[in-house]
């Protein structure tokens, strides 16, 4: 059954619809998110290890910028993979990055307030999951860097909290982008 996307210019209804879809299709949504998160964890850990004991703040900022870019790629892939959920509940891995990029671009252009609401809500949940664990493991200074050679246990705690936060929040923002990017089209198809 094909349902039209909610009015994407109104963040509240779109966010509520994204949460309903996430609840209804939790299995496929979280499967895609966990897969993307695990793939993204490899470059994430490698980039941290490259500056593991580098005392320069500039090195930490560069590593964080690379992390932002790899996280963006993961978000776009999950968005594309979940594009069919509103229509038929199925994941579509083939071509997901291109489809997700197109949906996200359309959502940003047509419903910037809705996208901002999704980013802020997802970011708040992510912060609740990562900040306490990272501060406990690495200290306040370790939030941005430099890492200054933390213990393996502290590094692991911070990394696991990032993985959990990504797996939890990626599908929510993806569905906000799918709904906002599909506004005026049949949700998840890109068709009028």
Instruction: Decide: 134 and 142 in contact? Cβ < 8 Å.
Output: yes
pLDDT of 144 reads 66
Tokens of residue 82, six digits: 């979940």
Domain count along the chain: 1
pLDDT of 191 reads 41
Instruction: Decide: 64 and 80 in contact? Cβ < 8 Å.
Output: no
pLDDT of 4 reads 40
Tokens of residue 151, six digits: 């213990």
Question: pLDDT 10s digit of each residue in the chain, 192 long?
Answer: 334 444 667 899 999 999 999 999 999 999 999 999 999 888 878 877 777 777 677 877 887 888 889 999 999 999 999 999 999 999 999 999 999 999 999 999 999 999 999 999 999 999 999 999 888 888 887 776 656 677 888 888 888 988 999 999 999 999 999 999 997 554 444 443
pLDDT of 145 reads 61
What is the b/e burial string over 35-59, where b = at least 16 CB atoms within 10 angstroms of the residue's CB?
Answer: bbbeebbebbeebbeebeebeeeeb
Q: Is residue 173 one of the residues assigned to a domain?
A: yes
Cis-peptide, bond into residue 146, ω within 30° of zero: yes
pLDDT of 154 reads 82
Instruction: Tell me the CA distances in angstroms from 75 to 7, 132, 150, 151, 160, one per residue in order.
Output: 22, 23, 28, 30, 18
- Show the domain range for 17: 11-181
Q: Is residue 3 one of the residues assigned to a domain?
A: no
pLDDT of 33 reads 96
Q: Is residue 1 one of the residues assigned to a domain?
A: no
Tokens of residue 97, six digits: 């990055």
Q: Is residue 60 one of the residues assigned to a domain?
A: yes
Q: Is residue 4 one of the residues assigned to a domain?
A: no
Total-model pTM: 0.85
Q: Is residue 192 one of the residues assigned to a domain?
A: no
CA-based torsion, 46, 48, 54, 56: positive or negative? positive
The whole-angstrom separation of Cα 154 and Cα 133 is 9
């Amino acid at each position: 059954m094909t349902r039209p996307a909610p009015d994407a210019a109104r963040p509240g209804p779109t966010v509520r619809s994204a949460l309903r879809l996430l609840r209804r299709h939790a299995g496929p949504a979280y499967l895609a998110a966990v897969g993307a998160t695990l793939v993204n964890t490899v470059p994430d850990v490698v980039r941290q290890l490259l500056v593991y004991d580098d005392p320069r703040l500039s090195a930490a900022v560069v590593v964080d910028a690379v992390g932002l870019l790899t996280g963006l790629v993961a978000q776009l892939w999950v968005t594309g993979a979940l594009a069919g959920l509103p229509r038929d509940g199925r994941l579509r891995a083939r071509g997901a990055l291109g489809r997700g990029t197109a949906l996200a671009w359309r959502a940003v252009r047509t419903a910037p307030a809705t996208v901002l609401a999704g980013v802020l809500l997802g970011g708040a949940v992510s912060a609740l999951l990562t900040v306490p664990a990272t501060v406990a493991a690495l200290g306040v200074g370790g939030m941005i860097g430099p890492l200054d050679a933390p213990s393996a246990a502290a590094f692991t705690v911070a990394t696991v909290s990032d993985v959990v936060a990504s797996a939890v929040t990626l599908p929510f923002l993806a569905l906000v982008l799918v709904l906002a990017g599909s506004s005026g089209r049949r949700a998840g198809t890109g068709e009028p």
